[in-house]
Homo-oligomer: A and B are copies of this chain.
Amino acid sequence: MNEQLQPLKKQPRAGKAGRSGTQDDIVYAHIFEAILEQRLAPGTKLSEEALGEIFGVSRTIIRRALSRLAHEGVVLLRPNRGAVVASPSVEEARQVFMARRLVERAITELAVQHATAEQIAELRQMVNDERDSFSRGDRGAGIRLSGEFHLKLAEAAKNAPLISFQRSLVSQTSLIIAQYESGNRSHCSYDEHTQLIDAIEARNAELAVDLMMHHMDHIDSKLNLDEESASDDLHAVFSHLLQTKKPGRPAVKL
């Protein structure tokens, strides 16, 4: 259980202190990826020392990375209790999706106005990568790339606060998908992404927004948010109890 993550220091850097601010980014990105690709399950404890050993950096760096992740909502930082991978409740998931609809609508409208030919080309490339991942059976990478597509779209909207917010929302969405998806099939059907790009390229705002909203509908229709919950959910539902009450003894009298 000690070497399950990537080997230390993916990118060899000159000396210990490479270009400043780069070290945390690497750690951040790796943990982020691991969470989104579900190599780290919700609720998993993220020990600073263990992570530091794995990545070959001190706890200082780990701590900063965890801090960023916590700010984005994919990691829960409990004072004096350490960090765990967030396990969004159904209610939290609903809130995230509501916020996303709001933001995606605005982003789509803005992207129609501002997207450059280059950005549109990049978007098409990302859809290709996404399709490849799914056809390769790499579900984790697929979820991540699908999220990055929406992030790229946000960049085309040319509004810094929106981009930042979207990053946080996409992260949490990916976590929610990883946690709640009913196992049938692909999440962001890349076909919908392609149609969306077409509408944006044609500068058809109405159609683009329409497609995006349908896309959102499809995403959460694939989740088990409504009604009762499956096995995974039990953990999520009771996680808030487990961290305040003793897990050894039932926290709730039946």
Chain A residues at the B interface, C-beta cutoff of 8 Å: 19-21, 64, 67-68, 71, 73, 79-80, 92, 95-96, 98-99, 102-103, 106, 158-162, 164-165, 168-169, 172
Contacts and interface: CB of A to CB of B under 8 A. Distances in A.
25 contacts: A19-B79, A21-B79, A67-B67, A68-B71, A71-B71, A73-B161, A92-B160, A95-B158, A95-B159, A95-B160, A95-B161, A95-B162, A99-B161, A99-B162, A99-B165, A102-B102, A102-B103, A102-B106, A102-B162, A161-B165, A161-B168, A161-B169, A161-B172, A164-B168, A165-B168
A22 to B, nearest CB: 9
A76 to B, nearest CB: 12
A20 B79 contact: yes
When all copies of this chain in the complex are counted, the total is 2
List the 7 closest pairs (A to B, CB-CB), nearest first.
A99-B161, A20-B79, A21-B79, A95-B159, A165-B165, A20-B80, A102-B106
Contact of A67 (B64, B98, B168): B64
Contacts of A165: 99, 161, 165, 168
